Structure 1
Amino acid sequence: MEPEERERRETVKAMLSKLRKAADPQEIQATLRASHFGGEMKYLPQTTFSQADLAYALEAAARTYEAVERADRRPSTALLLRFGQLCSVREPALLDRLWQHTKGHPFPRKSDLVGCTVPEEFHHLVLDDEPSKEVASRAAMVSSLRAAALRAIGHLLMERPQADPNPHTPNVAAVALIKTTEGLAEAVDGDEGWAEKVQLPSATREWLAWELRSLGHGEAAQALAEPPGDTSR
């Protein structure tokens, strides 16, 4: 690992950990109530938030937030905005440092925020929130794939998979498609090479690649065409 990357990772770990531990749990609870949080407040602590606690408050997988705080993965824009909101990161200079270390660039003032719900305290920092083609395309892709999965699951549950337009539907299990759609948005968000990193059973990969091609995402489909070795159903 290069010295600069090692230093960045250590800075990220120290910054996120410090901000999490310094956050006021009562403020977090108030923010969550105002934002129509989908989880149960009784499961959140009244004092210090652990990694698992904050992951729950962020409505993210525990391993996802843990990897972000360890600097093993860069957070999605939506997750980082939510983190800043919950941990009361409102100072522009601190916000810029947080973005620089975790995302590799200063806090975005333009198209990077498109499609995300920008916390109210950050509105004055956003100068241009016109939709970007890239974000719109990704959102449309995720939405289309979820719809395709629901369509295929319907055929599988009615025991007529051959009726589905995707020829690979008879080879996949409904539960596999459910798990795929649950993790799809997180995998795609903010990661150009997401398709190469997705760990899926071979039959599910073939199903997903077919759908991507039909939607016009040939590059992503090609990246999925060569699985990393998992051939289980």
Structure 2
Amino acid sequence: MSYETILVEIEEGIATITLNRPDVLNALNDKVFNELEEAATKLAADEAVRVVIITGGEKVFAAGADISQMATSSAVEVATGGNPAQKAFINIENMPKPVIASISGFALGGGCELTLVADVRIAADNAQFGLPEIKLGIIPGAGGTQRLPRLIGIGRAKELIFSGAFIKADEALQIGLVNKVVPPDQLSAETQKMAKRFADQGAVALRLAKAAVNEGLRMDLEAGLEYEHKCFSLLFATEDQKEGMKAFMEKRPAKFQGK
């Protein structure tokens, strides 16, 4: 896969999407969003890909949206522009396989919102997070007002959104914004370790586990439990379920085939 603003690499079932605009701290613009949406679509359909990692590289994840692109936009242009950021992020969020955000340096504005669509977030201890849009006279527009409260709670989310303040990795860990914090020189290895742990599981079970969580959050508890049971039941029609339980009883590692 060849793109202008991102790099996509696939190795041993793990795809890595790297934001690739280092000269502007990986600022996000429509071109980035369109390429992210296209890459997510292709990786979602690639049966050889078991897990997807999104990163900005060693120095910065993404320092926010490209303000130069937005500064001259009118309300009509924004309202009718199709919202490529939300389209891309929804596409990533709905991928039928685990997505890990690997975060070093700044993850601000749209960059922070991009981390929110991942299933799991691992941060280097030099990472900083924030939604500073309020300081520009606007609000987060790529899902931040909706996903952040669902992840860390309404009060903490409002505090970050209303103040535009930045928080460091240790605080992000404390409030549940990230799953793990590691030294910068260990970030890549720890991300790969987690990705491999996910990739070693049955692909169908992973897909339905993600669907059960994501779809269930959109339902009331009773409907969510019913949806979970449907997913649970469907897995008993898979070869992976037979192999997983047989391997357990035979006290050996399972060899899942994603079927």
TM-score by length of 1: 0.30
Q: Which of the two has greater helix per residue? A: 1
Q: Which of the two has greater strand per residue? A: 2
Report 1 or 2 for greater relative contact order, CA contacts < 8 Å, sequence distance ≥ 6: 2
